[in-house]
Chain A
Amino acid sequence: MAGAVLLAVLGAPLAASACAVLCPWRRAVGWLGVAATVVVLAGGVVLAARVVHGPAVTALGGALRVDALGAVMIVVVALVGTLACIASVRYLDGEVGAGHCSRRHAALYGALVQVFLAAMLLAVSAANLAMTWVAIEATTIATTFLVGHRGTRRAVEASWKYVAICSVGIATAFLGTVLVDLAALHAGHGPHASANLDWTALVAESPRLDPGVMRLAFALVVLGYETKVGLAPMHSWLPDAHSQAPAPVSALMSGVLLAVAFYAVLRFKAVADGALGPGFSRALLVAVGLLSLAVAASLLVAQRDYKRMLAYSSIEHMGLVALGAAAGTPLAIAAVLLHIVGHGLTKAVLFLGSGEILATEKTSEIGQVRALLARRPGVGGLMGVGLFALLGLPPFSLFVSELGMIRAEVDVGLGWAAGIALALMAVVFAALTSHGRQMLLGPLAAGERPTRTPRIVVVPLATALVACALLGVVAWPLAPLLESAAKTVAR
Chain B
Amino acid sequence: MNLTIDVEHNGAEKIVSLSGEIDAYTAPKLKETLLPLTQESEATVIVDLQQITYMDSTGLGVFISALKSTKEYNNTLKLVNLQDRVYRLFKITGLTEIIAIETDSTVRGGM
A and B form one complex: no
Please report B residues at the A interface, Cβ cutoff 8 Å.
none
